[in-house]
Amino acid sequence: DTRKPRNFPPGPKWFPIIGCAWQLRKLHKEKGSLAKATQELATKYGSVVGARIGRERTVFVCGLDVLKEMFRKDELNGRPHDIMSTSRTLGKRRGMGYTDAKFHLEQKKFVMGQLKRTSFRKKVMAHVLEQRVSVIIDELEKKVQSDSVICMTSFFPIHILNTLYFLLTGDKCSSQEMEELFDIMEDFAKNIPLTGTMFGHFPFLRHICPDYCGYNIYVNIHQRILEFVSKRVQVLKKACDSATPDCGFVHPYLMMVNSFEGNGTFSEDQMVATCLDLLIGGFDTSCNAVGFVFLYLILYPDVQRKAQEEIDRVVGRQSPLTLNDRARLQYVECVILESIRLFVGRAFLIPRRALTDATLNGYFIPKDTVIHGNCRLTLLDECAGWKDPKTFYPERFIKNGRISIPDNFTPFGWGRRRCAGEILARANVFLIVASLLQTFNFKPVPGCPPVVDVVEGFTPSVKPFKASITLR
Residues that bind ligand HEM (CB under 6 A): 96-97, 108, 168, 277-278, 281-282, 285-286, 289, 340, 344, 349-350, 411-413, 417, 419-421, 424-425
How would you classify residue 91: left for phi > 0, otherwise alpha for psi between -120 and 50, otherwise beta?
Answer: left
Q: Kindly tell me which of 130 and 148 has the beta carbon lying closer to ligand HEM.
A: 130
CB-nearer residue toward ligand HEM: 297 or 349? 349
Q: Which is nearer to ligand HEM, 168 or 247 (CB)?
A: 168
In this complex, which beta carbon is closest to ligand HEM, that of residue 23 or of residue 118? 118
Q: Say how many C-beta atoms besides its own lie within 10 A of residue 426's C-beta.
A: 19
**In the β-sheet with 149-151, what is the strand arrangement from edge to edge?**
149-151, 466-471, 440-444
Distance CA 35, CA 67 (A): 15
- Shortest distance (Å) from residue 347 CB to ligand HEM: 7
Smallest distance from ligand HEM to CB 282, Å: 3
**Angle separating helix axes 101-117 and 268-299, nearest 10 degrees:** 70
In the bound complex, what is the minimum distance in angstroms from residue 30's beta carbon to ligand HEM? 26
User: Which residue number, 267 or 468, has a Cβ lying nearer to ligand HEM?
Assistant: 267
Are 272 and 226 contacting, i.e. CB atoms less than 8 angstroms apart? yes
The DSSP output letter for 58 is E
Q: Which helix (H) or strand (E) holds 158?
A: helix 157-169
* Rounded alpha-carbon distances, angstroms, from residue 424 to 48, 111, 272, 402: 32, 14, 20, 22
Q: Choose between 376 and 417: whose C-beta lies nearer to ligand HEM.
A: 417
Q: How far is the CB of 348 from ligand HEM (least distance, A)?
A: 8
Among 50, 351, 338, 66, residue whose Cα is nearest residue 197:
351
Q: Which is nearer to ligand HEM, 225 or 315 (CB)?
A: 225
Q: Give phi and psi for 135, each to the nearest 5.
A: -65, -45
Determine the 3-state secondary structure of 51 from DSSP. Answer: strand
Minimum separation from the CB atom of position 276 to ligand HEM (A): 10
Nearest-angstrom CA–CA distance, 59 and 241: 49
Please report how close the Cβ of residue 286 comes to ligand HEM at its closest, in angstroms.
5
Asked if 243 and 111 touch (Cβ cutoff 8 Å), the reply is no
End-to-end distance of the chain based on CA atoms, in angstroms?
63
Measured CA to CA, the distance from residue 89 to residue 46 in angstroms comes to 36
Nearer to ligand HEM, 340 or 434 (CB): 340
User: Could you tell me what percentage of the chain is helix, strand and coil, using 3-state DSSP and rounding each to the nearest 5?
Assistant: 55, 10, 35
Q: Which is nearer to ligand HEM, 329 or 337 (CB)?
A: 337
- The pairing of strands 370-373 and 398-399 is unpaired
Any binding-site annotation on 213?
no
Q: How far apart are CB 156 and ligand HEM at their closest, in Å? A: 13
Measuring CA to CA, which residue among 235, 280, 228 is closest to residue 254?
235
Classify residue 309 by burial, with Cβ atoms within 10 Å: 0-12, 13-18, 19+: exposed
Report the C-alpha gap between 419 and 425 in whole angstroms.
Answer: 10
Give me the residue whose beta carbon is nearest to ligand HEM. Answer: 421
**Nearest approach, Cβ of 92 to ligand HEM (angstroms)?**
17
Q: CB of 97: closest distance to ligand HEM in angstroms? A: 4
Nearer to ligand HEM, 303 or 424 (CB): 424
Q: How far is the CB of 312 from ligand HEM (least distance, A)?
A: 26
Distance CA 304, CA 436 (A): 11
Q: What are the two backbone dihedrals, phi and then psi, of residue 443, each rounded to the nearest 5 degrees?
A: -130, 160
Q: Which residues are annotated as a binding site for heme?
A: 419
Q: Which residues are annotated as a binding site?
A: 419
